[in-house]
Chain A
């Protein structure tokens, strides 16, 4: 099982960028998928989630990105996307996609698979 992010790079403040996360080696459509970011030298910050088809592909976001970032997925391509608009310098970070796993039939969710991340730098 593997996740590979792409699409990072240098963008000016106010600009846009679209990240991709391509999955392989597992049934992508079954899983909830999240984005987590990490600013340089800082800790981990959850950005948001897309649920699976069984849960209507609903999405949720952290307050820091709500209204600016949009998460989507295409199960036919085993891929998830993060559309980032109105980017700010404080959005500079490594962006990870991560698979959510659940312990049996419980509600104990955890990230059991991560990509290597893609760096987004917002600077003029």
Chain B
């Protein structure tokens, strides 16, 4: 199975900050990488698919980059509503696997 490792596991940042979350795959996955946001008690919501494509309706402050094994999710100007846990997920091969999550808190 492809292991997905996210870092950091948690972070606290202020409104307006630039936030970066990284995700590393245990083997190359090309650009088969998706990012999701999950708020407490809610289902995940896709933000980025195919490593860098912004899902329709998602604010442009979210962006994704990377290919191969290393990927990044960036929030250019953190907003109060961006709290929650962020997960990366590889769709290169089944079993699909998720990173362990990054919990984002607003200072």
Contact = CB atoms under 8 A, between A and B. Distances in A.
B87 A43 contact: yes
Nearest to A110: B49
Interface residues of B, number: 26
B56 to A, nearest CB: 9
Contacts of A49: 94
A67 B89 CA distance: 25
A60 B45 CA distance: 23
Contacts of A34: 96
Interface in B32-83: 32, 34, 36, 38, 42-46, 49-50, 53, 55
A114 B45 contact: yes
Which 3 A-B pairs have CB atoms at the shortest separation, nearest pair first?
A: A114-B43, A110-B49, A108-B50
Given A103-B53, A106-B50, A107-B32, 14 more contacts: A43-B99, A43-B101, A44-B36, A44-B89, A44-B98, A46-B94, A49-B94, A109-B32, A110-B34, A110-B46, A111-B44, A112-B46, A116-B43, A117-B43
10 contacts: A43-B98, A44-B101, A62-B95, A63-B1, A109-B91, A110-B55, A110-B89, A111-B36, A112-B46, A116-B42
Interface of A: 34, 43-46, 49, 60, 62-63, 96, 103, 106-112, 114-117
